[in-house]
Amino acid sequence: PAVPNTTGQPARIRTAGSADPALGRGRLIADRMPPGTTTLFLVSDTLGTTPLVGGVGTLCLSGNIGRFVAPGQVKAASISGVAALDLDLGAIPRPSSLHPVAPGETWSFTAWFRDTDAGQPSSNFTDAVSVTFQ
């Protein structure tokens, strides 16, 4: 589970859409974040637990972590603390390339967001969600 942020709640992430990569689309939705916070979605095919140095929370991914940083993919949370990203399942970011999702693959997602800790600028993570594509 995620560590509570300045809203007093742990942020969470969920998915929407189909687990069929042939349909080509999916959606990530992060919520319970501070309003207006910058949000960066991350992906990996490996789960892990790495405490955040210089921030709060735990990164629930390991291995080759991809970042959704193409134009329009870095989001700001709405006034209600929600950020969403539409996924192109034919182009999941890896450290050095884009990867098309194939049936049988499991991908895990989290969101990294700006926060404060004891009044100082910091960052935090949502929990993680894994999807096994059909």
Residue 54 scores a pLDDT above 80 = no
Q: Which of 24, 28, 45 is nearest to 104 (CA)?
A: 45
- Quote the CA–CA distance of 81 and 69 in Å, as a whole number: 20
Each residue's pLDDT tens digit, 62-83:
999 999 999 999 999 999 999 9
Phi, psi of 115 (to 5 degrees): -155, -175
Averaged over 75-92, what is the pLDDT? 96
**What per-residue confidence (pLDDT) applies to 122?**
86
> Taking the model in full, what pTM does it have?
0.93
Which token pair is 2?
């995620």
**What per-residue confidence (pLDDT) applies to 119?**
78
Which token pair is 17?
């859409």
Instruction: Between 32 and 23, name the one with better pLDDT.
Output: 32
| pLDDT band at residue 50 under the 50/70/90 scheme | confident
Averaged over 128-133, what is the pLDDT? 95
- Quote the CA–CA distance of 75 and 102 in Å, as a whole number: 26
Q: Distances from the Cα of 130 to the Cαs of 28, 37, 71, 89, 96, in angstroms?
A: 11, 24, 24, 14, 22
